[in-house]
Structure 1
Amino acid sequence: MSLIRNTLVQSSLTLVSRALGFLRDVLLAARIGAGPIGDAWATALMFPNLFRRIFAEGAFASAFVPTYARTLEAEGEEAAAKVASEAMRVLFAITAGLTILAQLAMPWLLLLVHGGQADDRENFELAILLTRITMPYLTCMSIAALLSGVLNSAGRFLLSAAAPTLLNICLIASAFVSVSPVVTAQAASVATLIAGLLQMLLLAWGVRRQKVNLSLIGWPRITPGVRRVFALAIPGTIAASGTQINIIVSQSLASFEVGAKSWLYYADRLYQLPLGLVGVAVGVAILPALSRAARAADIDRSRATMDEGIGLALALTFPAAAALLAAPVFLIEGFFARGAFELIDAEYSALALFHYAWGVPAFVLIKVFAPAYFAHEDTKTPMAYALTSVAINTVLGAGLFFWLSSVGRPGFPGLAIATSVAAWVNAILLFGGMLRKGWYRPGAKLLSRLLRSLIASGLMAGALLFLLQHVDTIRAITIDSRIFVTMLVILLGMAIYAVAAILTGAIRLGEIKGLVRRRAVE
């Protein structure tokens, strides 16, 4: 399968998952709102989201795949399955132990991430309860990640991309338990745990279908193979999770401002869309190709793969960032402003979304650059860069948050600013590291394509601003529904960008025709 096709498989199913995710958030926002109960739910969901993005969206798998693939090629299927089984047992033991410790220490753990609302005992206790329910998701996602790595190494991306839809389906069902906001939040937490179990079972079935026999039965042992896997996986997971760690830091600081966690959460839901659809998809798709090129010392193929990955990623990311910058209030209001989530909540959330938006290209580039290091089995360098970005985010975020609060302004937009600055620092460090190591030099065609993408995105942003001036007219001649008009404007923006991108050459028709021909043949 080509990079474009692998990315298409990953992105298409991620799009389905994210569409269901929007539906779940629309329903849960209307039921729970953005007050202290909403903050408690955002805290409980923070950990599953972190684990899903670290494990299910490729960070752990990106570190596991090169070792598994190397063993598969050098020693055969049986040896690779043995390494994977041994790693799975150790991973299960570690994550199950961490889950148990977290359950016991949850009141103190939440003082770190939700301490700003510790004086509100009722809602703080609710946050403790909800997070205890969702915490076992860690173990489910860690096992699911390893199973995804096995499937991806075999060129199978379908199930690993489809599995996250189960979380959204379960949470959508929980939104209909609407006795009260508290009961809805409790039902959603239980649904999260059920979804984790279902995702793990689905991927286990997929691995079994590939005739790869893995087993959790047996004592966990630190064998040489396991040691090799975790020597890469631990720093690799940290390296690929810098953005998510920064979000945790921001959420912890946001707890000192009631409602801020919820506002940041719904802004996060929108800006994470291009990261999941594009950055994660391209990163997962290019890793096997980069790993093969690295083992063959084929610098030309490695550079060509990176050029294609970066060009494709940014051609799809620039318009998303431009749209988020041009219409943050319109988008948040259209998707989430109903029921308990009021218009003022949408305006506050849009403040955060605007500052996340200019960081979107950096968030995506991190996902595209990091696999170059993983392919060379260098996970410590990107880990150091990720930790540097975390330090910058923590210091800058805390400084901006408390400074803005001291002058009578909302402090939470400072957290979004710090997250985007930290992401750009991380992306620049990763790119500079590739240049120094001689792994990559961008080609002239790539630079030309990026310029064309920027021009097409600028044209689309101008068109969006024009459409926003005529929203009332659009509503009058179509359907008087906020979410319908929002979707219509988005579709119009996408169509405008597609035309502009083709005219400028940012997206090449030859790629699309080639993809269609390959699909027809197969």
Structure 2
Amino acid sequence: MKPIRLMSGFLTVGFWTLASRVLGFVREIMLLALIGPGPVMDAFVAAFRLPNMFRRFFAEGAFNAAFVPMFSAKLEGDEGAATFGRDALSLLALATLMLTGLAMIFMPALVWATAGGFDAERFDLTVEFGRIVFPYIFFMSLSALFSGVLNATGRFAAAAAAPVLLNVLVIAAMALAWFTGGAIITWLIWTIPLAGVAQLALTWGAASRAGFGLGLSLPKWTPDMAKMVRTAVPAALATGVMQINLVVGQLVASRFDSAVSWLFAADRLYQLPLGVVGIAVGIVLLPDLARRLKAEDYTGARDAYSRAAEFSMALTIPSAVALMVIPLPLVSVLFERGQTGADDVASIAVAVAIYGLGLPAFVLQKVLQPQYFARGDTKRPFHYALVAMVINAALAIGLAPVIGWIAPAIATTVAGWVMLGLLFWGVRDLGEVTTLDTRYRQRLPRIVLAAAVMGVALWMASVALSPALGAAHVRYGALVVLMVIGILSYFGMAHITGALRLSDIRRAARR
């Protein structure tokens, strides 16, 4: 077996995900500045969340969990991978086409189920926007299948670069609308399905060059398709639990003015490290584990799992500390302009700090879930996800009358840690492959120590730089200085304690 070089894959996916998230920041900065928290942005967020919710199920959930291990195994055994891929593509196209048609018809019901607290103005706007943006799910789901093909063959770049197209096109559309005096929201919503077409074209072309230019045919219900669907249905919920929790939170937040916009902005900020680290690790680790387990390379599988966890925590823990220690400077510099004022910034910063507390749990879920999915086990993560969803809903709904709009953020964070605890509990009987090695156990406390030192340095620096962070003409430079202080203090302490070695980073970068 030719092993996938894990660190190289992490860095490739992480680089493109970072590019996508940075451009996503630019997108949200423009959205908050040009439209701002209020009825129009609330409606857009609720409408755009509908295809995104299903995208997480079909793309990052079901197909990463069900399609990729089966396709990888067929590649390894030369067992008709192309035929299996074509059948899966045809079945997925039919399913998402039917879903899109039903959503267009029953859009008011979907909006009521996910944002039932909206007043008449926001509700009608959400229905209108939803019917325009929902077809994005059809193109994006097919793109996800081709991304799975590319990931299974060790070609990560094109699949990871596809999401960049959405942000590039949306930013260009809003800029053109602003420059020409057009309706920004109109340009924005019509660009989203167009971006789906562009993403599908990119991944389909890359898969064709890799020798898997799959074409559509009449869907066939084969034993492989039946097995894939049986695996995919529980996996969709297990990996999409965060999206469901966000929708539950949105349903609660829709009863408070601008709360949907505030939580959306906070979600985008903590999604940066989650996307760069957690999703990148999950994408690369799953096919690698599937190949190693099929070849009975249990030592290599354990090493891959341990390195993935170590890499994740080395980047996630300091990110979480930064989000909890300096949320206000981050949110103020990034979002406070135009239609977004100081009160909006303060509310977003509170949510950012709460989400930051849950960030390590969200990322480690991405590391642990491949241990189940690589073995074709999606039922137990499904059961764990049900428990986490019940806890999330109970806390979000129960706390809202007491503490208001912030209840969904607290509920999401608590549910994330519960889900992680259940996943850790469940891997105990999967053998030594799921036992983190000595190197990880030695380095984790050192990573925590380095992140704590960084947190103290960031807090002291933010106090010293507070006048500059509040001054319009120098606040960007002050934030850069703050970030540099955080980076130097963390990596310096990590090197001193042995949490991270510069030689390891250099070797990984060369690979």
TM range (shorter): over 0.9
- Determine the C-alpha separation between the residues in 2 that align with 1:474 and 1:339: 20
| Displacement after TM superposition at 1:124 (Å) | 1.8
- Determine the C-alpha separation between the residues in 2 that align with 1:322 and 1:268: 16
Is 1:269 aligned to 2:263, yes or no? no
CA contact (8 A) 1:457 1:497 kept: yes
Q: Relative to 1, partners in 2 of residues 1:505 and 1:317: Cα closer, same or farther, differing over 3 Å? A: same
- Name the count of aligned residue pairs: 506
- Determine the C-alpha separation between the residues in 2 that align with 1:129 and 1:178: 22
Cα-to-partner distance string for 1:332-391 (whole Å, 9 max, x where unaligned)? 111111101111101011111111111000000011100111111111111111121111
Aligned match of 1:87: 88
- Determine the C-alpha separation between the residues in 2 that align with 1:392 and 1:151: 36
The letter of the residue matching 2:508 is L
Residues 110-149 of structure 1: matches in 2 within 5 Å? 110-117=111-118, 120-149=119-148
Is 1:508 aligned to 2:501, yes or no? yes
Cα-to-partner distance string for 1:184-232 (whole Å, 9 max, x where unaligned)? 222211111111111011100001101213111x221211221122222
| Displacement after TM superposition at 1:52 (Å) | 4.5
Is 1:37 aligned to 2:40, yes or no? yes
Aligned match of 2:189: 189
Aligned match of 1:407: none
- Determine the C-alpha separation between the residues in 2 that align with 1:413 and 1:122: 23
- Determine the C-alpha separation between the residues in 2 that align with 1:511 and 1:219: 50
- Determine the C-alpha separation between the residues in 1 that align with 2:105 and 2:480: 45
TM-score normalised by the chain length of structure 2: 0.95
Cα-to-partner distance string for 1:132-155 (whole Å, 9 max, x where unaligned)? 111011111211111011111110
Gaps of 5+ in 2: none
Cα-to-partner distance string for 1:216-261 (whole Å, 9 max, x where unaligned)? 1x22121122112222222222211111211111111110111000
Where 2:178 maps in the other structure, the secondary structure is coil
| Displacement after TM superposition at 1:182 (Å) | 10
The letter of the residue matching 1:223 is T
TM-score normalised by the chain length of structure 1: 0.93
Residues 355-504 of structure 1: matches in 2 within 5 Å? 355-404=354-403, 411-438=404-431, 439-472=433-466, 474=468, 480-504=473-497
- Determine the C-alpha separation between the residues in 2 that align with 1:436 and 1:173: 51
Aligned match of 1:248: 247
Cα-to-partner distance string for 1:300-358 (whole Å, 9 max, x where unaligned)? 32222111111110010000000000011111111111101111101011111111111
- Aligned match of 2:26 in 23, 26, 32? 23
Cα-to-partner distance string for 1:406-442 (whole Å, 9 max, x where unaligned)? xxxxx12111111011011111111111113324122
CA contact (8 A) 1:63 1:237 kept: no
The letter of the residue matching 2:24 is G
- Determine the C-alpha separation between the residues in 1 that align with 2:510 and 2:43: 50
CA contact (8 A) 1:44 1:189 kept: no
CA contact (8 A) 1:318 1:457 kept: yes
Where 1:394 maps in the other structure, the secondary structure is helix
The letter of the residue matching 2:188 is A
- Determine the C-alpha separation between the residues in 1 that align with 2:257 and 2:321: 30
Is 1:208 aligned to 2:201, yes or no? no
**Range that drifts further, 157-166 or 228-237:** 228-237
- Determine the C-alpha separation between the residues in 1 that align with 2:123 and 2:491: 47
Aligned match of 2:256: 257
CA contact (8 A) 2:114 2:250 kept: yes
- Determine the C-alpha separation between the residues in 2 that align with 1:475 and 1:244: 33
Q: Relative to 1, partners in 2 of residues 1:94 and 1:182: Cα closer, same or farther, differing over 3 Å? A: farther
- Determine the C-alpha separation between the residues in 2 that align with 1:131 and 1:190: 11
Cα-to-partner distance string for 1:18-52 (whole Å, 9 max, x where unaligned)? 11110111011111110111101111221243345
Is 1:305 aligned to 2:319, yes or no? no
CA contact (8 A) 2:205 2:213 kept: no
Residues 314-333 of structure 1: matches in 2 within 5 Å? 314-333=313-332
Residues 151-162 of structure 1: matches in 2 within 5 Å? 151-162=150-161
CA contact (8 A) 1:463 1:493 kept: yes
Residues 72-111 of structure 1: matches in 2 within 5 Å? 72-76=75-79, 79-111=80-112
Aligned match of 1:167: 166
Where 1:469 maps in the other structure, the secondary structure is helix
CA contact (8 A) 2:289 2:370 kept: yes
- Determine the C-alpha separation between the residues in 1 that align with 2:353 and 2:466: 23
- Aligned match of 1:11 in 9, 14, 27? 14
Gaps of 5+ in 1: 405-410
The letter of the residue matching 1:84 is G
The letter of the residue matching 1:427 is L
CA contact (8 A) 1:62 1:149 kept: no
Percent identity reads: 39
- Determine the C-alpha separation between the residues in 1 that align with 2:303 and 2:290: 13
Aligned match of 2:236: 237
Cα-to-partner distance string for 1:461-519 (whole Å, 9 max, x where unaligned)? 1111011112246569x99333343233223312221211111111122322322444x
The letter of the residue matching 2:187 is A
**Range that drifts further, 147-156 or 284-293:** 284-293
CA contact (8 A) 2:457 2:486 kept: yes
CA contact (8 A) 1:479 1:485 kept: no
Where 1:376 maps in the other structure, the secondary structure is coil
| Displacement after TM superposition at 1:276 (Å) | 0.3
CA contact (8 A) 2:65 2:231 kept: no
Aligned match of 1:408: none
Q: Relative to 1, partners in 2 of residues 1:265 and 1:207: Cα closer, same or farther, differing over 3 Å? A: same
Where 1:175 maps in the other structure, the secondary structure is helix
Q: Relative to 1, partners in 2 of residues 1:516 and 1:109: Cα closer, same or farther, differing over 3 Å? A: closer
**Range that drifts further, 390-399 or 313-322:** 390-399
Where 1:257 maps in the other structure, the secondary structure is coil
- Determine the C-alpha separation between the residues in 2 that align with 1:250 and 1:129: 22
CA RMSD after TM alignment: 2.0
Aligned match of 1:68: 71
CA contact (8 A) 1:37 1:182 kept: no
CA contact (8 A) 1:401 1:414 kept: yes
- Determine the C-alpha separation between the residues in 2 that align with 1:180 and 1:51: 34
